[in-house]
Amino acid sequence: MRRVTRPVKAGNITIGGTAPVSVQSMTKTDTRDTAATIAQIKKLQSAGCEIIRCAVLDEEAAGKIKQIKDGIKIPLVADIHFNSKLAVLAIEAGADKIRINPGNIGSDLKVKEIIAAAKSARIPIRIGVNAGSLEKYSGKQRKDSAAETAKKMVKKAVSFIRFFERNKFEDIVLSLKASDTLATIEAYSRMAKECDYPFHVGVTEAGTISGGTIKSSVGIGVLLHSGIGDTIRVSLAGDPLEEIRVGYGILRTLKLREKGVDLIVCPTCGRCGVNLFALAEKVEKLVAGLEKPVRIAVMGCVVNGPGEASGADLGIACGKGMGMLFKNGKVIKRVREDKLVEELIKELKKL
Ligand code: SF4
């Protein structure tokens, strides 16, 4: 059961309510370099990115938001730290949403200025509480336990929310990210009992593409599976396109979004009579970016091959130097190993 949340709109995308869990990313370019930023966002939006966030580090960057927005199709979130003026400028330049940590804006008065600007532009604010910005543990321990960190994050988030509510602003999305996956899970789970604002879910500073994918998939996956999460961002130290690929992979695995190819590949063993890794890699490359939800199985032998291949929309169950091609549960032809991918793609196009 998905947690019931109030819907919040960022541009043309709804976060929360009954809207599907959206996938977002953040640009890694200098926002002041509009050509590079637009080019990166265009690649991300073609890969399925639904909301993009840009770091606004000075007035020049805030001023470029309009130009960037003119070159892209997805809602743009301005990421602001330390400076209320930048947030107000970004809102005036047309940002569809603002992300702030109210704790580092300087004073209640400055946060109120941002609230007033967002209110008049009718855009939401994401309140982002990060474990890294909490006061460090003052006792003897070197660092807090995951549960302690989570408790502190929730306490902070609740106090920010109450402040926003006292100022009559409820167009809020909330995030409580930590680089510790358990602290992240614990913080969101606790916070889910405190409010019905939609959650932006992610494990922050998760790591490199391989390590970060594991942490994010576990953290985001556990939360989504317990019904928590309305929009997700996979934070990876690498190409942001990977963030989108992993984000959809998590949603597809949990059957929350069906977009794209679900590729089933056996790990191979001594029974495999073809170069299955090469076959699977070729298929993976050829179907990357495909939006249609299709299940494809690439299997190494007849032990589990026919079962998986016949349960998929398209499948290959290999024998020695050849494979049987399955479509919608039936064998449609026997194909030589060197022609298998070509024939599979031909059938995929017909689908
Ligand atoms: S399908 Fe065949 S080759 Fe692949 S892992 Fe199973 S037994 Fe091994």
Instruction: Report residue 258's pLDDT band, with 50, 70 and 90 as the boundaries.
Output: confident
Q: How far is the CA of 183 from the centre of ligand 1 (A)?
A: 38
pTM (2 decimals)? Answer: 0.91
Phi and psi (nearest 5°) for 300? Answer: -85, -20
Please tell me the predicted confidence (pLDDT) of residue 140.
Answer: 55
Across the chain, mean pLDDT equals 94
Per-residue pLDDT reduced to its tens digit, 44-68: 999 999 999 999 999 999 999 999 9
pLDDT at 206: 82
Considering only CA atoms, which of 339, 310, 342 is closest in space to residue 322? Answer: 339
**Which of 264, 265, 272 for a ligand 1 pocket mutation test, highest count of atoms within 8 Å of Cβ?**
272
CA of 299 to the centre of ligand 1 (A): 7
Q: Please determine, for residue 137, whether its predicted confidence score (pLDDT) is greater than 70.
A: no
- Give per-residue pLDDT as tens, 319-328: 999 999 999 9
Domains of the chain: 8-253 (3.20.20.20), 261-350 (3.30.413.10)
Summarised one tens digit per residue, pLDDT across range 186-235 is 999 999 999 999 999 999 988 899 999 999 999 999 999 999 999 999 99
* pLDDT at position 134 over 80: no
Q: Ligand 1: which atom is nearest the Cα of residue 271?
A: 3
- Higher per-residue confidence, 346 vs 134: 346
Select the more confidently predicted residue: 184 or 137: 184
**Is residue 145 scored above 80 in pLDDT?**
yes
Q: Which residues line ligand 1 (CB under 6 A)?
A: 266-269, 271-272, 299-301, 303-305
How far away, in angstroms, is 322 Cα from ligand 1 center?
15
> Looking at the predicted structure, is the pLDDT value of residue 282 above 80?
yes
